[in-house]
Chains A and B, each alone.
Chain A
């Protein structure tokens, strides 16, 4: 059965080819069903391979299936080969599983889009690339998948490219990821020069002879690559913007699968990580921890339902890096899996909300939606409990394990990692509670007049009644700003200006938010069930319950850190985590449900701007960074463009035989060439005296 591993990526590839050829003929919804079946086929083959692998003795669970030699140049040779081992198959299971559900969901979500079949073309191509990334038996194949998922990501972010924001978000993702790719390429070359091979099998075999310095360099370069793809500091800025794409894309690519590939890569290379200096892995842990905290604080102040989830994803990915950095590979994988379930669920749930709310994404205009969308609301609440770390939902178990490893890791910063992890857990529970309350509970603010509508109505009223004094006009914007405070509990006053409110307000009063179709709710139900129960794959109570840990053991080559904590410590850590989660839940409830504390005090502008990191980048590249280009462009303008303008003049002068010597350009160029020749000649002359 193992030799059928190539079937896993073959299905989505076939789907991609068929859809490219016949997609527009099939149309809606057949194109979507074809793509879903392709993904399902891939899932079934993964399950078959999984059982075949499970039947093997543990130490033999490392199967390389080489299809053919792809490129051979001298001593360098790359096979088109797939590596089936517990790590890759675990990844494949949730990629294809969650992928299939999201394909199904998209059939409903993309209903009526004029590029319906094109969307599924990209989606299948993405799944193929992601599987290539995970299954490749060498770094080059992984890199091809890595680039492939990147390309699909840009394409899908910019899917509605009529929108300027989407286009620029796609560009930002592209540019940021190029920085990461640079690290990947350098690291690959370094791996080749050290191992004379880029096959994972050879890396595993030769890693023990690797020097610590080289290993450190390789690890740091791959960390750069992983930071780009997995949206860690300092390269995380693209992910929040990437939410401009369709919501199923956010769920599949920017939450469940692609963004975890950095963590996968570092886990795959655990033999190299083991050889690196302690500070290299410590850097990974700290990058993760700081990212987790920064992103969590930013998530607190977002009003866009998807932006909250986006920053939350960055934050949770930070947890994964933290876990990898302290050697908790199993914990990282565990949380990656549970996160894939509950974050996909939350994203799809938010998509369902957006769908039912006429493309409204601002949570301030939602509220009380549980009554309108019972299935979405119920499943979303389960996802919330999972991410908030409430036992016995899955997120609690996986996050707890990461925190235990952070507590255990003394070498790289004492208990600092654990404190940050805990703080992040607190914030996570807080902002998720806030989101759930603002969206599903409280007063239905959907029918309220928006500040813009009120402003419109007020100015219309003012225009109609000239008697109102100037003071009222200047004070008016303040009234608008204050809306949100009171809006949580009571609707803004519209009686005064009722007849002046615009048509958009009146139209909305007719509309009732609705539950989504079954293709959208069925994936929600399945993902909700998984979010609740996925904790059972790695329960901490006894060694026998560590199913995931035992399963992954052959892929980790005993590089997993040992958890030397007594049962009592574990219990205390768990209780602290539960207490923290409950505190955050209560606090958020007090602020947003019962209005005990004004939300403005918490939702600072600087948090909403994610500590202005993104805008600082823009400022740098627009300011000092741009200076370099200004200088070069000046040179280009003066010497070269100036030359061009000179030419137009000079050649006409030349034609009439006048003042030939006043050439402005040829002289410059000839000078350049002469100076160049001189430099070259001088070099050779210096060689004489050696």
Chain B
């Protein structure tokens, strides 16, 4: 924490030197507003400390329970912070203006907490089954989530970078945590090297941004765009354009958009399955939210420059992702490509929301936003997708963790044959989640895809909307393949016999398995309930969407 404070102080000085002090810097730190972040960060430290001091805490599922409770308390604290922020006027800048608390960041934090909650419960079942239970899984998970909160709340590129790294490094380690799987280490290795490359690109983008605008805070960057004080316009423009390109590339890597996606299939296949659940949900959600925030709040003046790039990335992700997914025979790899397609949908969503979020805030500041709902309904569909996607993907990989056979290496379509007969309950849950991901009506997946395509069509991006629909159609076939394997084909008997022996020997803790089942059942319930009544939590979504639009 202290490094952060020092960092922020340096920021203030720097900002003062340029005479661009953000107006809303509060005197003193409103620690209460940091509560959701503090619970996660301090929770991680306390978990590590106390489990080291008292060995008894390491036994059974205590670390998993503590993690789930921590995530839940952080989630609960959001409501109090929300009320406080609401009373203070909707958005509060703290930590010397580098950390923003508003409905948008609180919403995404909530989604992150949910991802941690699901992943912790799945981890409990998984690690107990694989006999690799260690407290470090959970500590890293909480640390990563704390990094994610920093990432989405940052109003300052340095803090944002710190958040990104804290989020990522913990996940690199998590990917390598399966002691018996070579591929787990390989995955981590690859993820780390390529992640390092992406971070370097990102950092270079930050440096160029500073060079071009003389500021690192999003407000300062936006300000500089309006009034490029002192700098020659030509230099300023070229530098900031390249800077945006590099920042975008960095984000695109994190969200695994084509052509920055190469790592995803390998890493998803190799990493322990519950970690993939978090990787696909938490990491992606945080990166997407930060991307939207940075480009809307910081680079809103250049929307005409970066919006087409988003369109290009979205098109590439939708097409390449869905076509490559069809050729896969490994379920985890297939889902990696499916998550690339989801990334395409989310990029499309950011592309659409840019039309109004930027124009609404810059050109027409006098607009009464309370009455013009249309202005942030695009943002709304983006947030809806983030939340829905987290629920579905956490659940899907949660079921996969429970189905993990051997050393979590048996996820080919052939291994899934006949699961419906052996494990009808899990197969049913997985089928629902896969159908939801493919966008079947009465599931949350339908509404999320529907709204994104809708908002693209409303903004007259017909080509993109059409492509997204086509991708949804193709993707349906891919999810169907898994379901067909589970339900319509007999089990590959050689596998099941050896497996049954191995499973008997394993002596899985039933309470751990119950935790895993709880997680996936909850996610299926949410998928259906929210799918039948998509207007649940409307006011929260509206407020969060509004917060990104007002800047």
Contact = CB atoms under 8 A, between A and B. Distances in A.
From B182, B186, B442, residue with most partner A Cβ within 10 Å: B186
B288 interface: no
A62 interface: no
Given A71-B534, A629-B327, A633-B327, A669 B190 contact: yes
A683 B189 contact: no
Nearest to A76: B454
Interface residues of A, number: 60
A174 B473 CA distance: 11
A541 to B, nearest CB: 46
Interface in B22-75: none
Contacts of A73: 377, 380-381, 451, 454
Nearest to B420: A161
A670 B197 contact: yes
Contacts of A174: 480
A669 B238 contact: no
Contacts of A408: none
A494 B377 CA distance: 78
Nearest to A651: B186
A167 B198 contact: no
Interface stretch (B10-18, B114-122, B256-264, B505-513): B256-264
A647 B186 contact: yes
B374 interface: yes
Nearest to B259: A676
Interface string A606-646: 00000000000000000000001100110010011001100
A171 interface: yes
A643 B447 contact: no
Interface stretch (A18-26, A43-51, A180-188, A242-250): A180-188
Contacts, number: 160
B194 A670 contact: yes
Contacts of A640: 262, 265-266
A683 B324 contact: no
B465 interface: yes
Nearest to B262: A669
Given A75-B377, A636-B327, A673-B259, A186 B469 contact: yes
Contact of B473 (A75, A148, A178, A629): A178
Contacts of A636: 324, 327-328
Nearest to A666: B193
B327 A677 contact: no
Given A70-B535, A633-B327, A677 B193 contact: no
Contacts of B266: 640, 643-644, 647
Given A72-B538, A684-B305, A186 B326 contact: no
Contact of B190 (A148, A665, A683): A665
Contacts of A186: 466, 469
Contacts of B201: 673, 677
B249 A673 contact: yes
Contacts of A467: none
B462 to A, nearest CB: 8
Contact of B237 (A76, A147, A158, A688): A688
Interface string A675-688: 11101110111011
A648 B185 CA distance: 10
Contact of B241 (A668, A679, A685): A685
Contacts of B169: none
B219 to A, nearest CB: 22
A447 B265 CA distance: 60
Contact of A147 (B190, B242, B440): B440
B308 interface: yes
Contacts of A171: 480, 484
Contacts of B453: 185, 189
Contacts of A644: 186, 266, 269
Interface in A55-108: 69-76
Contacts of B327: 629, 632-633, 636
Given A74-B377, A144-B441, A673-B197, A668 B262 contact: yes
B309 A680 contact: yes
A648 B182 contact: yes
Interface string B99-135: 0000000000000000000000000000000000000
Nearest to B326: A629
Contacts of A677: 201, 245-246, 249
Interface in B421-459: 440-442, 447, 451, 453-454, 457-458
B501 to A, nearest CB: 27
A231 B277 CA distance: 41
A375 to B, nearest CB: 37
Contacts of A674: 197
B350 interface: no
B477 interface: yes
B85 interface: no
B475 to A, nearest CB: 10
B488 A161 contact: yes
Contact of A74 (B262, B374, B466): B374
B252 interface: yes
B65 to A, nearest CB: 33
A151 interface: yes
Nearest to B182: A648
B246 A181 contact: no
Interface string A127-153: 000000000000000011001100100
A665 to B, nearest CB: 7
Contacts of A147: 440-441
B9 to A, nearest CB: 33
Contacts of B244: 684
Contacts of A193: 457-458, 460
Nearest to A182: B473
A651 B262 contact: no
A192 interface: yes
A556 interface: no
Scoring A71, A158, A179 by chain B CB atoms within 10 A of each residue's CB, the highest score goes to A71
Contacts of B538: 72
A672 interface: yes
Nearest to A146: B441
B309 A683 contact: yes
A533 to B, nearest CB: 39
Interface in B375-406: 376-378, 380-381
Contacts of A673: 194, 197-198, 201, 249, 253, 259-260, 262
Nearest to A161: B488
A245 to B, nearest CB: 14
Contacts of B296: none
A148 B309 contact: no
A75 B381 CA distance: 13
B487 interface: yes
Contacts of B198: 673
A175 interface: yes
Given A189-B457, A632-B323, A666-B194, A167 B186 contact: no
A74 B462 CA distance: 19
B470 A182 contact: yes
5 contacts: A74-B380, A644-B269, A676-B260, A680-B245, A680-B252
Interface of B: 182-183, 185-186, 189-190, 193-194, 197-198, 201, 237-238, 241-242, 244-246, 248-249, 252-253, 259-260, 262-263, 265-266, 269, 304-306, 308-309, 312, 323-324, 326-328, 373-374, 376-378, 380-381, 440-442, 447, 451, 453-454, 457-458, 460, 462, 465-466, 469-470, 473, 476-477, 480, 484, 487-488, 534-535, 538
Given A640-B265, A669-B190, 5 more contacts: A70-B535, A639-B262, A674-B197, A683-B245, A684-B241
Interface of A: 69-76, 143-144, 147-148, 151, 158, 161, 167, 171, 174-175, 178-179, 181-182, 185-186, 189, 192-193, 628-629, 632-633, 636, 639-640, 643-644, 647-648, 651, 654, 665-666, 668-670, 672-677, 679-681, 683-685, 687-688
The 5 closest A-B pairs by CB, nearest first: A74-B377, A684-B241, A676-B259, A677-B249, A669-B262
